[in-house]
Amino acid sequence: MATANGAEARRPHVTAEHFAPALKREGRLLLQLGIGKPAIARAMLQAEDHGTTVEEELLASREIDEAIYFEALAEKLGLDFMPWIDPARVQDVVGLDTQLAQPEVLRVHHATRPPVTVIVPSIAQLDAVAALLARRPSLRNTLAVSTPTAVRAAAWKAGSLRRVSATTRALFEAAPLHSARITFWGKQGFYTGIFVCALMVAALMLPFISLLLLHIVLTLFYLANFAVRLHACGCVFMQGKTGTQAQTPAQSQAEPQRPAEPPPVYTVLVALYRERSVAAQLLAALDRLDWPRSRLDIKLICEEDDEETIAALRDVPLGPEYEIVLVPVHLPRTKPKALSYALPGVRGQFVTVYDAEDRPHPGQLREAHAAFLAAPANVICLQAPLIITNARRSWLSALFALEYAGLFRGLLPMLSLTGMPLPLGGTSNHFRTAELREIGGWDPYNMTEDADLGMRLHRLGYRSRVIYKPTFEEAPSTLSIWLGQRTRWFKGWLQTWLVLMRRPGRLGREMGWPAFAVFQVLIAGMLLSALSHPVIIGFLVYLAWVMIAGGTHVEGWLAFWLFVGDTLNIFGSYAVFVALGFSRMGRGEKAAVGWRWILVPGYWLIMSLAAWRALLELRTDPFSWNKTPHMPVEDAE
């Protein structure tokens, strides 16, 4: 957590004359309310540093209680104070959602008397409101004072049903081609049926030729996927030779140069569902973020019926930067729907997403902010690396750690440097809020909303880059949990590919044909590689037998070259998977993985099982969210 008295420590001898007139006036008014001089002095220093008000800093510091403070303002104005607002008495009118981000005024209706206008006055507005009341004393009967927290809570609840319905429909209605709400769009289902029928007929009528063509196509896709990762591995090697190697977790501890301008409001979104066990760990990690509390807007987004998680969060004394947002029960019950539901209440100029089990580096927001300021305006997303800390727990978590090291610290930086689209991770991506809203936010129906959003923003002309301060999390360590999570991911990647391929020609023109080709390799190539992995191994065994028995005739030579291609694809892919992951790991991470890298063939086979399960679920249950359970960290490595 940022040091509360950092500004005071840097300037211990500042006198009152140093401050701007507005800050001095605010300090005098707060002194009249009975707030102590030391607290006001500290808040004035912080307000000057952060570009805020003394009032905001005092409320953020917890040195004054919000309810007591606004009750004192109400008493000063001679108005009633409402510590709680009944949402049933608030009408869901046009403009209600503006109060989610900037709570200032709310109309509260009553059955037997005129409505009351609830205001949230600031100390700077006190004289103006008092003057208005002096001119129009009758207003005292229709005005009351409340807190920002109470106004936001009432506004969230009063508009909840309309808002959640709009959330699930917004992207589909605004840009239906970009939504996964319909699995097969237009003629996609027809063409898919024709293709499958043609394959079946060809397999019956021309089995040898059909298998040969299928083999060649799968080999080419597999080879392209292998080539992209080999190139990423080569980039890592060249960076090491030239001394420009991407940062390791240890190297990323250095603080970025802080911008001279005051920090903007930064929003943190965390979607939680059945996360009681990690609630305390999450809050501790968020409390360590190095960002002024007065400039932080943390939204803990919970399903309305998840009583255990909500109770666990409310059992902890939350600072004023925290807000619990309750999402009404409404299908689909997905993480992207929860994030999109909270988007209207985002106060920050920048917004980031974390998962419930995440432990982000305290300096990650600082690095992201500095990177946004240095980047062109069309860079609207930054991806931080995810590092697995429980590699020792099982062979699955070890290989998961190896996979993540290669992906987030090898492949994605290479794609970023070359201006290619990034299939984002589901956490630790940072956005410019205005542009995120402009492109429609997250798709509530996509199971990998992260990859979908990364591709969509690229096709719309925006770009993504990577930063280096990591987020630490734990991988599934049992097969059932790992398989459920990976099935959901494969289902989402299938959805993403189908969504983007609704109009391939248009997509190629929008993304650019090189990026279009990379998209095919990253998504289609990965899907085909996973689905066909057992088939390629079968081909490899069959071709070995054919060559042993077939001699040197033409078919034998064809079998030989296909055998070479399959061998390169299978064993080369294993080797690149291991090499790319290990090249990005520190010594401790490599020791945690240990000898278990030799189990990569088994890891790829269960990935194939997950891919086939996803293919079936896409047809039978496309919008079910396989929840990954989380437990607190015991022995982070």
For the stretch 604-637, pLDDT in tens is 999 999 999 999 999 899 998 888 888 888 754 4
Contact between 439 and 456 under an 8 Å Cβ cutoff? The reply is yes
Output the pTM of the full model.
0.91
The confidence score (pLDDT) of residue 319 equals: 92
How many other C-beta atoms are found inside a 10 Å radius of the C-beta of residue 489?
A: 20
Crossing angle, helix 188-205 and helix 207-242, to 10 degrees?
Answer: 120
* Structure tokens, 17: 């004359």
Task: Give me the helices (H) in 33-179, please.
Answer: 37-50, 54-61, 66-77, 98-101, 126-135, 148-158, 160-174
> DSSP string of 311-333?
HHHHTS---TTEEEEEEPS-SS-
The confidence score (pLDDT) of residue 555 equals: 56
Helix/strand/coil for 465: strand
The confidence score (pLDDT) of residue 630 equals: 87
Give dist(CA 461, CA 413) in Å, integer: 19
Both 307 and 219 in one domain: the answer is yes
Both 229 and 315 in one domain: the answer is yes
Both 371 and 518 in one domain: the answer is yes
Q: Tell whether 226 is covered by a domain.
A: yes
Give dist(CA 345, CA 298) in Å, integer: 11
Peptide bond into 332 cis (omega under 30): yes
| Closest to 578 in 3D by CA, of 592, 560, 561, 596 | 596
Q: Tell whether 205 is covered by a domain.
A: yes
Give dist(CA 510, CA 459) in Å, integer: 5
Q: Tell whether 1 is covered by a domain.
A: no
> Final residue of a domain: which of 64, 86, 102?
64
In the chain, the number of structural domains is: 3
Domain range holding 117? Answer: 72-158
Both 119 and 263 in one domain: the answer is no
Helix/strand/coil for 418: coil
Both 123 and 177 in one domain: the answer is no
Give the domain CATH number at 447.
3.90.550.10
Both 320 and 177 in one domain: the answer is yes
Q: Tell whether 28 is covered by a domain.
A: yes
Both 225 and 96 in one domain: the answer is no
Over residues 135-189, the pLDDT tens digits come to: 999 999 999 999 999 999 999 999 999 999 999 999 999 999 999 999 888 777 7
Q: How far is CA 471 from CA 301, 352, 467, in A?
A: 19, 12, 11
Both 124 and 266 in one domain: the answer is no
Both 104 and 225 in one domain: the answer is no
* Structure tokens, 619: 């047809």
Both 265 and 138 in one domain: the answer is no
> Final residue of a domain: which of 134, 158, 182?
158
Both 391 and 422 in one domain: the answer is yes
Low-confidence ranges of the chain (pLDDT < 50): 1-10, 242-246, 248-254, 552-554, 636-637
Both 178 and 265 in one domain: the answer is yes
Give dist(CA 70, CA 296) in Å, integer: 21
| Closest to 236 in 3D by CA, of 585, 598, 471, 515 | 585
266-272 vs 350-354, strand pairing mode:
parallel
Give the length of the chain: 637
> Final residue of a domain: which of 31, 64, 97?
64
